[in-house]
Amino acid sequence: MIRLDKFLCDSGAGTRSQVKAILRAGRIQVDGQAEKDGSRKVDPAACQITLDGAVLGGRPRMVVMLNKPAGFVTATEDRQQKTVMELLPPAYQHLELKPVGRLDKATEGLLLLTNDGELLHRLISPRQEVPKVYYARHQGTAADADVDAFREGLTLADGTVCLPALLEPLGPGESRITVCEGKYHQVRRMMASRAMPVAYLERQAEGPLTLDGLSRGSVRPLTAQELEKLELAASLPVNLLEK
């Protein structure tokens, strides 16, 4: 159940003040009865809500996962470059999805998109960012001193201070990196600061979510269980180093 005025805003009937005026003017009907009270709770799936006689559908809340290929910028529009929005099948095009955070043009892997502004805000809020796991191929080989420096929190050449992060060497020129923030070119800059410039970067996980076999360039909605886990992760404080 949601408030009628919220439903009307979400359905595109107007801004909050326009919706107030529309309600006051008696232009909204719930199951055929005029309704002027915006605070009334309605179940849009169970009743018919009309504006001037036209049925309002509401916009379903959507959270989708994209396996981003290299070559697409994370933006809703760009004059020159291909954006991740072009990878969405037509059925997703009108849902007003927005990327949650950003992957660089060259970075591949897990990118969430949602039309739930509140969830988006929580997921990218600096106080509540969920851990993100990256696989990197890079020059050099990560050593214990690099692992310690990541754990302590790196300071980059321009003075940017990074939160403590996990660096797990996987072999010569390969590492897994887990960070809880999304600064500009964060992982690439962190690795470069330890003389290990990154040649290839893939995000493999975000909080409880993994690509789980989703092929490169494909999109799928999160399952109910994934959504539940994501909501939980976005509401809990993170301590990476307790892992």
The alpha carbon of residue 41 and the mean position of all alpha carbons in its chain are separated, in whole angstroms, by 29
Site for ligand URA contains 186 (CB under 6 A):
yes
Q: Which is nearer to ligand URA, 29 or 160 (CB)?
A: 160
Q: Cβ 57 to ligand URA, closest distance in Å?
A: 35
Closest CA to 178 of 130, 232, 139, 221: 130
Q: Cβ 110 to ligand URA, closest distance in Å?
A: 11
Using CA atoms, how far apart are residues 129 and 192, in angstroms rounded to an integer?
A: 23
Segment near ligand URA (CB under 6 A), from 5-13, 77-85, 139-147, 183-191?
183-191
Catalytically active residues, by annotation: 104
**What's the count of helices (H) and strands (E) in the chain, helices before strands?**
7, 15
Nearby residues of 235 by Cβ (< 8 Å), 6 or more positions away: 122, 128
User: Would you put residue 92 in left (φ > 0), alpha (ψ -120 to 50) or beta?
Assistant: alpha
Pattern 197-236, binding to ligand URA, x per CB under 6 A? ----x-----------------------------------
Q: Which amino acid is at 76?
A: T
* Residues 92-121, interacting with ligand URA (CB under 6 A): 103-104, 107
Site for ligand URA contains 176 (CB under 6 A):
no
Q: Cβ 70 to ligand URA, closest distance in Å?
A: 10
Rule CB under 6 A: which residues touch ligand URA? 103-104, 107, 185-188, 201
